[in-house]
Structure 1
Amino acid sequence: MLNDTNAAKIRSLNDSFRRSLAFGGTVLLTPGVTSLDIDRQAELLEAVRTFDRFTPDNDPHGEHDFGSIDLVSTRYFFKIDYYDQTGTMGSPDPADPAVTRRVMTIMRADEY
């Protein structure tokens, strides 16, 4: 288990990435999201960007790496995963942006 200092660093990096949707990683959208009309996609991305309902139930490690959003009677998830810089293996240290590539997947819950 990560110590509190590492969790705080990871949380900060994840929040910065999620709020910007650009800096610090790559965002992937599943077919269930890309099939939405562009205005609904924008609404969903804004909901991800501004998400702040982290609780011990949905964020047990305090990393802010997962969220669930209900939009027009459909549930969506976002999930941030940590890879090494090549994207082929898990990151050796998710608290260190020099060795970590963040990938956030945004999907319909039924695609999980």
Structure 2
Amino acid sequence: MAQYQCKSCGEIEVSELAAPEACTHCGESGLIDLEAQTAEIAKANDAFRAAIILGGHPELLGQVVCTQGVAAEGLGFMARAQIEVAGFSSFTEENDPYGDHSFGALTISGKKIWWKLDIYDADYRFGAADPLDATQTRRVLTLLFPSEY
């Protein structure tokens, strides 16, 4: 069973066989395969994370930020955290319920740290209209302690 979302009205279609040719709600033909889109977002999120220790990704633009608590641990701690986040691959149903590789938890110097990745429009004001359009999308990776969430 697959889910498809209409680009026009946003309604979600469920199909057990082939992709619907048009939205049953509005009749438009632009449907997004949500499972395929999630897999592509996960690949882009992984590429963005992997590039943070190299100065950033050439096409997947964004920034890395941290909370005051993480910053207070010092530059060495933040550098280790970024290296670990860049190589993170321990995704499970528990820490990645949406399958888009936008969250992770790890331990740095005995302290549990979370990272989360949010996808915005090019102005960092709203969610991205098309999270796979690198020209109109910006990622923000936040390093934080669970107590700061």
TM over 0.5: yes
**Counterpart for residue 118 of structure 2:** 81
> What residue ranges of structure 2 are gaps of 5+ in the alignment?
4-32
**Counterpart for residue 35 of structure 2:** 4
**Number of residue-to-residue matches in the alignment:** 112
Matches of 1:77 and 1:13, distance apart in 2: 19
Tell me the TM-score normalised to structure 2 length. Answer: 0.70
Larger RCO, structures 1/2 (Cα 8 Å, 6+ apart): 1
Matches of 1:41 and 1:52, distance apart in 2: 19
User: 1:85-96 residue pairs with structure 2 within 5 A?
Assistant: 85-96=122-133
Report the Cα offset of residue 66 of structure 1: 0.3
Asked if 1:44 corresponds to 2:75, the answer is no
Structure 1 or 2, whichever has the larger Rg, is 2
**Counterpart for residue 53 of structure 1:** 90
Tell me the TM-score normalised to structure 1 length. Answer: 0.91
Aligned-pair Cα RMSD in Å: 1.5
Runs ≥4 residues deviating over 4 A: none
Normalized per residue, the structure richer in helix is 1
Identity among equivalent pairs (%): 34
> What residue ranges of structure 1 are gaps of 5+ in the alignment?
none
User: Would you say the 8 A contact 1:68–1:78 is kept in 2?
Assistant: yes
